[in-house]
Structures are given as structure tokens and as C-alpha cells.
Chains A and B, each alone.
Chain A
Amino acid sequence: MSRTAARLLAVIAAVSLLAAVPAAAQAKKIITISGSTSVFPLETQLARAWIKTKKGKKYGFRILQGGSNVGISDVAHGRVSIGASSRDPAAGDPGGLVFTRIARDAICMITNNANQLGNINQATIKGIFVGPTITNWGSVPGATISGSIDPIGRAPTSGTHDAFKNIFLGGTNQGSFVAAKSSNGLVQQGVQSDPHAIGYVSLAFTQGVNTVAYNGVACTLRNAASFQYGGVRSFYFVTRGAPVGGVKKFINWVLHNNKANKIIATDWVPLH
């Protein structure tokens, strides 16, 4: 047994040595990010582009997901260098955190393709998601079906729920009769399979469903960029204190570089 174990140990040691050599040769500083699943696709693209630049060459990235609240808690405890958040700073957040806005994202109201609802206003959304004072599509002007309304939403822990609450519901919580799904994709799927459903998702999740205009403005990237569309939330990089060193360089590049702007503009709204 002991001989086998020794042989095994030797193999493990050899393998780890081999793995350690190139890492030591480059000696890159690692920037760690954790947090929002909504920001994840954006931050990975940005990080990948930045490490190809002159300044970014010296750095490597380790990026994890987990949700906005995970990111904020991780950065507050010093477990990561940057926390990614898709929700605004809240009163309950730990002190000393700096939220740097890096991009904007639109939240769209969606219905099933059988229900070609063209426009919805804030009062109607409140009636459906908070009341419930509106429970029948017959009393929603513009709906192309009638019968019960099935509201589909997100769990209270999600950043999208927080943004929906603050922007569309004016700060009130959605009612407990609203299905609380755990991801954008599940809301999209729920709306896709149920003609009577209405839900809210990030702009990137609107394929295969009917996207509804909010207060008369269509939910598109262009309208969100021109600030005509009201349902826009922010993506943040959260740091403990003002960003320093490599993190500062990275965030500055994200905020001011043209290439970064182009990456953001593919699916999200750049700040300028």
C-alpha cells in the first residue's frame, strides 16, 4: 500500500510542479470578480478584451457568478477584488463600498406571442403585479386575448426583481401570487408556454416572446440608450473603497475606452 501511495504522491507532485512552472514564469496579478449573473456575460467579454491590451497584459482574471448579493457580500468581506451588481446600492449594504456604474440594461415586459399587447403603462403593471386589481386580460387595453392573467416574476433575492420593484412598481413589492422564478430564462420559458402570462426579463431574453412597450416607448437598445425608455437599470462594479491598482486601470478602461464601449453596445447600453 505504502509503495503505491508514494508513487501516487510522486505523480501528483510532478503534475503540480509542471502546472506551477508557467504560472510562476508569467507572474500575473489576478483580478477576481464575483456576482450578478446578468453582468457575467458582459464582464467576461470586457476582461477578455482588456488582457490583450498593453496595460492589461500583466493581469489575469478569475470570474465567478452567484448573484448581485453574493458579489456585494464577497467584495465587502475582501474575498474578491470586484463585485458585480445589477441592482442599485441598498440601505442594508455593508458600509465602505463604492458602486461604479459601468453600463445600463433594459428590463422589458413580455407576453406570449398569442397576446400581441402593444403597450402597457405603470398603473396597469401595478394593477397586475401588486393589486391584484386587474386579473383579466379583457380589462387591459390592447390585449389580443381575454381571460385570466398569469403574472410571472423573479425571486426576491434577484437583482432583476429589485430593479423591477424600483422602476416599474414605484418601490412596492410584487404580490405573493406572482410566480417567483429563479432566473431570466425560466421567466422567458414560462411566458413562452402560457398564452395568458406576463413577465419581466432583461433585454437579452426577449426572443420568442412579445416585447411590450412601456409607457408608449418600445423596449429596444436604441430607446434605452436615448433614455426614452423608462425601464432601464444600471450594472455596477463594486469595490471596497475607491478602486486602486489593476482594478482601477481595468475600470477606467471599461469606462473610457472605445473598444470597451463597442463591447458594451452589442447587447447593453454604454454610459456615453
Chain B
Amino acid sequence: MRRPDGLDKAGPRKSKDQRAELMLGALACIVLALIAGMIIFVFQKAWPSFSHNGLDWFSPWAGGNVDDQLTAIFESPADPSHYVYTMHAWPLLFATALITLTAVVIGTVFALLSAMFIVEFAPEALRRVLEPVVRLLAAVPSVIYGLIGILVVVHFFDQHLISQGSKDSVAGVVALNGFSWGVGALILTVMITPIMIAIVVDALRAVPTTWREGAVSLGINRWRALWTVSVRAARPAIVAAAVLATARALGEAIMLSMVTGSVGFAPNPLDGVIFFVEPARPLAATIVDNAEGLSVQPFAQTLYALAAVLLISAAFLSFAGWYIRRRLRAYTLSPI
């Protein structure tokens, strides 16, 4: 029997299309199975850490010092019934949120303005240089940013931005020597902005020219046409860019491990200006710094708990991004 589209369904030779479809479907299924397996594996490993601490794992008021707790877990006795699990990870969670949010908020503003410039105002010659450079920057490995951070930025902060008086005022509590969440957030901003610029540029380009021409013909200038028509229409893509950038920022480990100070300290906004140069250590950097201890079972389970939190945050983030984009598409006219 012949199908209306002319393709033989049960012929001796299946069409190449059908085989490709099967292959791709199988590949997609493998990826899904891998992700599911990974989540189950991580949570199964992490469970003892969560179950021993309950909500104290996440609570800002649980008390204790997270680095002392990590050391105690690492030095657990060999007997499984005496394993130490006490872990109050708030400083690490706070540092992660603080660094990520700061970088993404500043980065989004920069990326939006740069993309607008590249698409609408940059002279052709400049644009031809700018775009490849932005794409190149988006691909620079993070360890290179880390090296620049440690050799240049940290040193600059230490020498020129932190006074000896403020260093002395907190001596013995934290060391203000340039290694700080502020430097981490600054470099992270530089790392994620190019990704966002690349996405937003493509989105602004995709807005039909006629829309902007229509706006200009109504008598508003180029800047306002860009802002009120193109940027509005590209909002779903801007959200997508921010989500992608946040995901990269959340998972950034090497660079942050190198520049943020390696202390499980929660920077305190009430400290005034020195808040910005206080050290911290986010989740991913903690995992990298302590990976050597994976052979100690309770310590490994604690590290897996950190990983589980990162996994959940990333999943939640992409869900939130998808939801916001759907809302935006539902209520605005959008070409993307």
C-alpha cells in the first residue's frame, strides 16, 4: 500500500530519512538516560549528608564554621558508625548566589547595551572586528581568566583599593588581600558577557526591519525605535541569554577557586565598603579545591551534596527561564 506522500512504508529498503530519524531519536534517548542516571547517582551519593543535617544544611542560622566542619568530616574515624556529617553550607550557598547574581545583573546590562551598539550604531568596519572578537572571547577557557585574575586583578585590588587600616580592622577574622568575591564577580562578568552579547545580537538582528522602519516613520529617533521595538521584541532571547550565562556562572569552578580567597566565609553587607573585597568560596570551587578527599566516604558524600545543590539550581534555572520566555511570548508580539 502506498502512502499519500509517496513514501513506501514497508518496502524492503527503508528510506534514509527514516533511518536518520531513528538514529537521532536513539541519540536523544541516550542523552536523556545519561542525565537521569547522573541525577540519580549524585542524589543517592549525597543523601547521607542531607539526611544527617536536615534543613540546617541550608540554614543561615545553623551556626558553626563550614571549613571546620569540612575538616572534621575529612578526619572522620574509619568506623562507619562514627562518621561525621555535620555540614552547614550556608556561606558557600550565599557566596555562590552573591557572585552569580552580581555577575549576571551587571553582565546583562553591559551585554544589552553592547549588542544594541553592534547592531545599530557601530560603523561597518568596527562591526566586522567586534563580532568575531566577541565570539572569540566567549570561547576563552576559564583557567586563563583565572590566571589573569590572580596575577593582575587580585594584586591590583590588594595594592590600590584596600587600605591598610581596613586590613588591620579585620585582621584575624578574614584576610583582605585582594582575593575576594568582588574580584570573582568582576572576572565572571567579563567571562559571561560575550556569550550574552552574541545571543542578543542575533536576536536583535532577527527583528524584522519593517517593524523598526514603521516606528521610525512615526517620527521617533533610531535610539527610541531600537529600545521600544527591537529590544522589546527580543526580550525572550535576552532572558535566554541571561539563563545561559547564569548556568555558566553557577558552574564556574577553576577561576573562582583561584581568585575568591578559598575561605568558607559569608561576606557581610553590613561591613560597609570592605564587603566587596571580603573573601568567599562558592560551591563549585569548594568541590574543585577538595576533590582530593573523595576517597574518604563521608567527605565524598558531602561533596556530592554540594554537587546535587548545583544540579538542582541549574535545573530550576532552566525551568524558570523557559517559563518566563513562554509568558513573554504569550503577551507580546515576537519574531523569535
Contact = CB atoms under 8 A, between A and B. Distances in A.
Interface in B144-177: 150-151, 154-155, 158, 164, 167-168, 170-177
A70 to B, nearest CB: 6
B166 to A, nearest CB: 9
B178 A193 contact: yes
Contacts, number: 127
B290 A181 contact: no
Given A147-B167, A194-B178, A197-B177, A131 B172 contact: yes
B261 A179 contact: yes
Given A72-B295, A157-B290, A157-B299, A179 B175 contact: yes
A45 interface: no
A108 to B, nearest CB: 20
Contacts of A152: 175
Interface in A114-128: none
Interface stretch (A14-22, A182-190, A209-217): A182-190
Contacts of B78: 91-94
Nearest to B155: A193
Contacts of B120: none
A176 B263 contact: yes
A151 B67 contact: no
B288 interface: yes
Given A69-B293, A177-B175, A156 B71 contact: yes
B257 interface: yes
Contact of B257 (A73, A131, A182): A182
A190 B179 contact: yes
A179 B263 contact: yes
B70 interface: yes
Interface in B170-208: 170-179
Contacts of A149: 171-172, 175
A99 B172 CA distance: 38
A180 B158 contact: no
B292 interface: yes
Given A93-B78, A193-B178, A136 B294 contact: no
A189 B149 CA distance: 12
Nearest to B152: A193
A1 interface: yes
Nearest to A187: B262
A144 interface: no
A170 interface: no
A13 interface: no
A244 interface: no
Contacts of B179: 179, 190
A177 B174 contact: yes
Contacts of A156: 67, 70-71, 74-75, 290, 293
Contacts of B19: 1
B18 to A, nearest CB: 12
B54 to A, nearest CB: 23
B258 A186 contact: yes
B289 interface: yes
A60 interface: no
Given A1-B19, A149-B171, A196-B167, A155 B290 contact: yes
A40 B92 CA distance: 32
A66 interface: yes
B296 interface: yes
Interface in A229-246: none
Interface of B: 16, 19, 65-68, 70-71, 74-78, 150-151, 154-155, 158, 164, 167-168, 170-179, 257-258, 261-265, 279, 288-296, 299
Query: 7 smallest A-B Cβ distances: which pairs?
Result: A73-B295, A67-B292, A157-B293, A148-B171, A135-B172, A150-B175, A135-B171
6 contacts: A70-B294, A92-B76, A150-B175, A180-B263, A181-B262, A182-B257
